[in-house]
């Protein structure tokens, strides 16, 4: 982990921490619903509309929270990146989530879902969403996002359990002391 300057806090802003964990739950739920519930249901199943309503509303909520999170991230002081790859990965997550929501929204518009799902038009769902290229993109982006999440969790656990550099604590609540976790990691490394 890079050495933090005196002006860089040891933890992320509490709004960023809250949004991180809230969005983690929402994104995992949306992925689970998409992969395991919606994919298993035939479009002719009348229950699918209710599940789509939650999935689509959740997707729009995730998009709104991601935009808020990006604005707060750009405005708030934050700890030094763990390495050169960290900022690329973080902004990659932002981009991936925004494009995921965009392809979901585009699929909904192409398939007429706002009228069917939210306005209760009574029209049936299309026979299959697979005919829409935006749906294909949505599926593959979801798969890529799931992979990114696995790598993200693995990297966080590696830093916490193997390197013991205090990186995971940065995404927790507590005092935002400039450079405190970095000093603790330096002490641990010098003792090793």
- What are 41-63's pLDDT values in tens digits? 999 999 999 999 999 999 999 99
User: Regarding predicted confidence, which is higher, 106 or 190?
Assistant: 106
The pLDDT score that the predictor gives to residue 2 is 45
- Find the length of the chain: 192
Q: How far apart are CA 114 and CA 98, in angstroms?
A: 19
Contact between 156 and 168 under an 8 Å Cβ cutoff? The reply is yes
Tell me the two tokens of residue 83.
Answer: 């390495």
With 0.95 as the threshold, say if the pTM is over it.
no
Q: Where are the domains of the chain?
A: 14-191
If you ran DSSP here, which 8-state letter would residue 120 be given? -
Tell me the two tokens of residue 11.
Answer: 């933890």
Question: Could you give the C-alpha distances from 133 to 34, 128, 136, 140, in angstroms and in order?
Answer: 17, 12, 5, 11
Q: How far apart are CA 155 and CA 67, in angstroms?
A: 24
Residue 166 Rama label (left phi>0; alpha psi -120 to 50; beta): left
Which pLDDT band, with edges at 50, 70 and 90, does 38 fall under?
Answer: very high
Q: How far apart are CA 97 and CA 85, in angstroms?
A: 18
Fold assignment, 14-191: Fumarate Reductase Cytochrome B subunit (1.20.950)
If you ran DSSP here, which 8-state letter would residue 2 be given? P
Q: How far apart are CA 66 and CA 39, in angstroms?
A: 25
The pLDDT score that the predictor gives to residue 176 is 79
The pLDDT score that the predictor gives to residue 6 is 57
10 Å CB burial of residue 130 (0-12, 13-18, 19+) is: exposed
């Amino acid at each position: 982990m890079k050495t933090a300057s005196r002006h860089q806090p040891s933890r992320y802003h509490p709004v960023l921490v809250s949004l991180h964990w809230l969005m983690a739950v929402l994104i995992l739920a949306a992925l689970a619903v998409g992969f395991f519930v919606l994919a298993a249901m035939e479009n002719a199943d009348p229950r699918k509309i209710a599940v789509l309503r939650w999935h689509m509303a959740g997707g729009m909520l995730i998009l709104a929270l991601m935009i808020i999170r990006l604005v707060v991230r750009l405005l708030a002081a934050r700890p030094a990146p763990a390495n050169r790859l960290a900022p690329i990965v973080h902004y990659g997550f932002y981009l991936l989530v925004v494009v995921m929501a965009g392809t979901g929204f585009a699929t909904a518009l192409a398939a007429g879902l706002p009228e069917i799902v939210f306005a209760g038009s009574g029209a049936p769902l299309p026979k299959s969403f697979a005919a829409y290229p935006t749906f294909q993109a949505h599926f593959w982006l979801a798969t890529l996002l799931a992979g990114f999440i696995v790598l993200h969790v693995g990297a966080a656990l590696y830093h916490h359990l193997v390197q013991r550099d205090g990186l995971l604590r940065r995404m927790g609540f507590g005092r935002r002391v400039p450079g405190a976790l970095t000093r603790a990691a330096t002490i641990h490394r010098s003792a090793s």
